Structure formats: C-alpha cells, structure tokens
Amino acid sequence: MQTTLRGVGVSHGVAIGEVRHMGTAVLEPPAKQIPAEEAEREQGRARQAVEAVAADLMARGNLAGGEAQAVLEAQAMMAQDPELMADVERRIAVGSTSERAVYDAFAAYRELLAGAGEYLAGRVADLDDVRNRIVARLLGVPMPGVPDSDEPYVLVARDLAPADTALLDPTLVLGFVTEEGGPTSHSAILARALGVPAVVALPGAGELAEGTMVAVDGSSGEIFVDPSAEERARLEAAAAERRAALSGATGPGATSDGHKVPLLANVGGPADVPAAVEAGAEGVGLFRTEFLFLDDSKSAPSEEKQVEAYRKVLEAFPESRVVVRVLDAGADKPLDFLTPADEPNPALGVRGLRSLLDHPDVLRGQLTALAKAAEGLPVYLEVMAPMVADRTDAKAFADACREAGLVAKFGAMVEIPSAALRARSILQEVEFLSLGTNDLAQYTFAADRQVGAVSRLQDPWQPALLDLVALSAEGAKAEGKSCGVCGEAAADPLLACVLTGLGVTSLSMGAASIPYVRATLAKYTLAQCERAAGAARAADSADEARAAAQAVLSGE
C-alpha cells in the first residue's frame, strides 16, 4: 500500500528510484589516556589531519566551482579555526589521544553554538562533517559518504554536508531526501544548482528501508513510498509536461499579457557564468563576491585579483544588468581581518555593511576594483550593500561609492525588517532595492535559516514575509525606482508569480530555476498574479497562502 510523506520541496523535478542511505557517521573514539611523552607526537598528528582535511575540502571546492566552492572554502576555514586547534592541543597535553581530543573539542564547540542560538548554529551539519573527516583520518578508516552504486538511486540521509552535495553525480543520484535542513540550507542551494530534485526537513526519513522504491517530488515536497504503477505514471507524465513547457518557453521573462519581469541569475563567481548564460539569464541579479575573500581569511585579495574576477563576469553580460553585492562578511562567513572574534551573537552584530564601514579601506578597495573592471565594457553595473538597516547606512554606502569614483547605480539589500518598513526613506539615498528573502525571513521570524526545526518559519510563503515584500515594492514604486528579489524565494515558479503580483520588478535565482520560472510566468496575466498575491497575503499560514495562490491561478 502506498504511503505519502511530506517534507519541504527545495529543488524542482521528480525522481523515482530505490533508496540508498548515506554512510553512517564516524564512531565515537575511545576515551583512553596517553603517556605525557606522546603528547607532542599526538599534537603533530592532529595538526597534520586538520591540514589534510582542509586541503581536501579546498580541492573539492576547486573541482565543484561556483557556489559550492565558496561553501567548501568556508568549511575548510572552519577546520583550521585556531581556537579549535588550541583546544585540541590542550586536551592532548592532559592525556587525550588526538582523535578523542578532536571529537571532544568539536563537541564542546557544537554545544556552545547550538545552545547560544547563534546564526552559526545553522552550520552544525558542516561542523559535524569536518569533525568526522578529521577523526576518520586519524583513525585510518574511510570517511562515510555517498554510497557506491552502479545503478541510479535516491539518496537518503539525516543531513548532507556541502562536501558531499557539491560533488554528487546527477547521473547516479536521481534525487535526495534529508531529515534535517531547510529551504535555504547549503545542501538545498547546491541541489538547485545541480538541478537534482530534493526534499528536506522530512521527519523519519532515516526510517525508509534500504532498497525501498520511492518517488520524490521536489516541487511539492511529497515522497511517495512504494508508489503504484498509476501514481508513477502520473508523476512521470507531470514531469514530461514540465519538460515540454520548459523547452517551449524562451526569451525574456514576462507574463502572458506582456508585462516584463527580467529573470536574472545569482552567481558566486566566474564558474557560475556558463550555466547562467545557457539558461537565458537576462543579467545577474546577485553577484556574491565572498568567494574571493575566503581564499585567505587573514587579508583582503589584491586589487588585481579582484579586477580579474569581476571583469570575467561583467564581460559575459554585454548590454545587460549586473548587480554586485559587496562583501557580506560576518556570521557564518567570519574573516580574521574584518569581523570581531568575540561577538555573543554574530548574526545580530557587526556583519555585512557594518563590517565594511568599520574597515573603509576594504570597502574602498572593492569599489575601486569594480570601477576598473567595468571600464570600457558595455554593461550596466549596479552595486549594492548587504544588511542595510536604515537611511544612515544607505547614505554611508552611497557616499563611499561616489568617493571611489564608481560609475554605477547604488542599491541596498532589504534583509532586515526595518529596511522594508522604511523603504522610501532608504530610497532617498540609493537607486534600487533588492530583497534577500532568506535573511529577511530569518530576522522577521527569529528563525535560524539553517535549523530544520524552525523551517516552517523559513518558508517564503509566510504571509508576514509577503507583507514586507509588498511594502518594499510599494515604496520603490512610489519613488519611481526598482525593487527586485534575489533570495531563494524567486526560484519557486508559483511564488515568482505572486512576487510579480506584489510589484517586484525583477527576479534573480540560481540558473537551474530560470526555465521553470520563465515557463510559469508566461502562463498567467499580471492581473492573475495580482489576485494570487492578494489571496496569499490574506492567508494566515504559509500552506494556506500557497494553496490560495494556486487556487486563484488554476481558476478554482
């Protein structure tokens, strides 16, 4: 008998195949004592293992490229954290083996983060993965990971570390299902980049027996266990219909009655450009520049290195809009030379623009490099600041851009509720807004964007979040300026229609989602989108909002 489970769909498409489970976690090392004379040797072993794991993560990042590279480089920095290493060496000095010292030091750090409720608590899966890799190396055992299989399968895991997700082979891994995670977790973002159907935050996912046939709908979040022949046929037909719709939808983004909605790409560096171009992106709505700064947490990259990387992206989009976000450091992306090391809650501290205003030389260097990269290119460069809270922030950023001689539009990201509430005030200083719905949801609902237990509050369909989007769009319209969305909400085709109805003027997403959004938008008029937006805002929950919008657009 078929059973239907429901999690959170985070990557479109349908996958039908047998369950294969992720390898089990590394076992806890025994707590045995070592003689004092062996401490120095054990400390050396620990250091070597840490460096080897960090190098492996960097190598995986280089191989994966794009957004995955930035994620894995951040994980490598986590492995090399000097405070963690100092704790490991201290534990060895009082008698622990190297593997036990690593296990206990990471456990203490993990408990500290989770208990404090910090933004970094959302990186617990990443932290566990680093610990497991180091311990496995010290024990001389293979690191558990993606199962070895010659036949395609659906991967099931408690959670997936970025190092595993980044290198999934889409020809073998038809889709994946995790018990933890949320719609904006690293694994979800990388799944969308790979184009692999995925469902996260599914309670009891680990109880699915090895070899069980399942059908995964990455759009609805449904998992059909032992689906009937009829259900499989229905899902396969629906998937075929989607593929046909995708192939038939080309050109610029627009509603069926011709209302233009530019569809832009989110990119993490030059490696993401080919996929964006192939998907027909009309430009770049979010160029994350962190990847350049994560190579070396001790100092900013040289101007020459920045100019080279920026120019590669700008050259790929002649006569198009390219929106660059200046460095968003802090919280889960700490940089030794930029962010405080002793903040009790980094997500609410000196992050994003706040860090840059405290280090004007870093901001000036990035803005100068962008100005040089754009020289002589037929591109419409726009530069925006992350974590803008009010008009004072916006003015400080615009002044810095002008002082650097940057010929571009200056904008502000709306990630803090205060920015949405005071959008018109902020737009007295800058020329456009861009909504980062991932962080906006986190700060609106006090719900860490990486914690599966609060994924309900991270759902971009939450009516309160839609209200803030509407406020921002209305403010921008009143000032005659643009307001786009560059958060993951834009990658949901149905929600893209609602965002359009709310007055959003452009949508930016991972390249793999662009065809889905283009095809869906082309089915509805602007008036239908506006009615769907009104119905969604009138609801009291994310599920009700989604259902109300769907009912309007399907003519029910």
The residues carrying an active-site annotation are 186, 486
How many of the other CB atoms lie within 10 Å of CB of 465?
25
Distance CA 178, CA 107 (A): 22
Q: Name the region of 280 (left: φ>0; alpha: ψ -120 to 50; beta: rest).
A: left
Task: Give exposure, 349-375, as e/b (b: 16+ Cβ within 10 Å).
Answer: bbbbbbbbbebeebbebbbbbbbbbbe
Distance CA 270, CA 284 (A): 12
- The SS3 of residue 19 is strand
444-449 LR contacts (CB < 8 Å, sep 24+): 444/417, 444/468, 448/117, 448/119, 448/121, 448/122, 448/347, 449/122, 449/182, 449/184, 449/185
How many of the other CB atoms lie within 10 Å of CB of 556?
8
CB within 8 Å of 408: residues ≥ 6 apart: 370, 371, 374, 381, 382, 383, 401
Q: Is 372:303 a contact under the CB 8 Å cutoff?
A: yes
Distance CA 501, CA 505 (A): 10
Helices and strands, counts by H and E, the chain: 23, 16
- The SS3 of residue 431 is coil
CB within 8 Å of 455: residues ≥ 6 apart: 8, 181, 182, 183, 200, 201
Q: Of 530, 396, 535, which is closest to residue 463 (Cα–Cα)?
A: 535
Distance CA 345, CA 322 (A): 33
Q: Is 154:18 a contact under the CB 8 Å cutoff?
A: yes
> What single letter denotes the amino acid at residue 278?
E
Give the residues across from 157 on adjacent strands. 178
Query: In the sheet that 153-157 helps form, which strands lie side by side, from edge to edge?
Result: 3-6, 222-225, 213-217, 14-21, 153-157, 173-178, 198-200, 8-11
**Parallel, antiparallel, or unpaired for β 321-325 and 380-385?**
parallel
Distance CA 275, CA 162 (A): 20
Distance CA 268, CA 291 (A): 7
DSSP letter (8 states) at residue 1: -
